[in-house]
Amino acid sequence: MIELGMETLPSHSDSSSLDVNPLSGLALLQKGCQQFGFDLTPAQLAQFQLFYEELVAWNQRLNLTAITDYQEVQTKHFLDCLAGLPILADALCESLPLTRPVHCVDVGTGAGFPGLPLKIAMPRLPLTLVDGTGKKITFLSQLVAKLGLKEVTLVQGRAEELGRDNAYRAQFDLVTARAVAPLNTLVEYLLPLLRREGLAMIYKGASAPQEFMEARKAIELLGGETVRLAPVQIPFLEEKRFILLIKKVKLTPNLYPRAQGLARKKPLG
């Protein structure tokens, strides 16, 4: 299930090909994190800068993201991902930055969102990144190495498969997902991976309240209990965002997740 491709890292030595304003630096990211209640160290800022450069370089052929503008990556990717930290810290009764080693799996991570920004901000976070596309896993493997991140595991696979595999089922303290699927489908992917008392932290846009109404029965059926549906304000953005926290209060029935594709074709509820 774990497959790391062998693809050569694209060169980005020509800085003119990168949409970087050297005068602005990562000011938006720094100020945004301060609004969230924590500061990034110079080393962490350097990691975010390298993350941006690698994302843009690889995006020229892998189509990882439609967002490549330097300012927009800081707000719509980095800060958007980090917006979950104050809510998570509150749920764990901790302050920021978190120091507890919460074992996290990021499902449908794509270009590493939200998992890698969370890992950079919380270096002690043991992290598993899951995606079904081999080329994205290749990108992530080289990115993780360049960023010097430790305790990061890369898995190529589908959430339905992992949720039925004892190596992953009920093994995580935290599961995250951002822009993966409608909520009544997504919870069937996520909740089987959580230990009892673990948390699912789900990033959603303006449709979150309606999606939550449609997913309430599925959440309960899968062993979850909603802790919080919180509107969040991303610094320097006007778009409406929500963070949904679900606590795993009982074991997920063995029937779930169902076979590949059923969660999308026939959502629970």
The pLDDT score that the predictor gives to residue 22 is 39
Which is nearest to 55 in space by CA: 155, 147, 178? 147
Identify the sign of the CA torsion 15, 21, 24, 29.
negative
The pLDDT score that the predictor gives to residue 122 is 95
Q: Which residues of the chain have pLDDT under 50?
A: 1-23
Q: What is the pTM of this model?
A: 0.89
The pLDDT score that the predictor gives to residue 169 is 98
Class assignment of domain 26-265? alpha beta
Largest Cα span, the chain? 55
In the chain, what are the domain boundaries? 26-265
Find how far residue 111's CA is from the centre of its chain. Answer: 9
Q: How far is CA 15 from CA 53, 63, 74, 155, 191, in A?
A: 9, 19, 18, 31, 43
pLDDT mean across residues, the chain: 90
| Rounded-to-integer distance, Cα 217 and Cα 220, Å | 5
The pLDDT score that the predictor gives to residue 24 is 52
* Model pLDDT for residues 86-116, shown as the tens digit of each residue: 999 999 999 998 888 899 999 999 999 999 9
The contacts of residue 116 (CB under 8 Å, 6+ apart) are: 51, 109, 127, 129, 140, 143, 144, 147, 149
Q: Which residues pair with 174 in a beta bridge?
A: 104, 199
**Do 58 and 138 contact (CB within 8 A), yes or no?**
no
SS3 of residue 89 by DSSP: helix
User: 161-164 long-range CB contacts below 8 Å, 24 or more apart?
Assistant: 161/1, 161/260, 162/1, 162/130, 162/193, 163/188, 163/189, 163/192, 163/193, 163/252, 163/256, 163/257, 164/192, 164/257
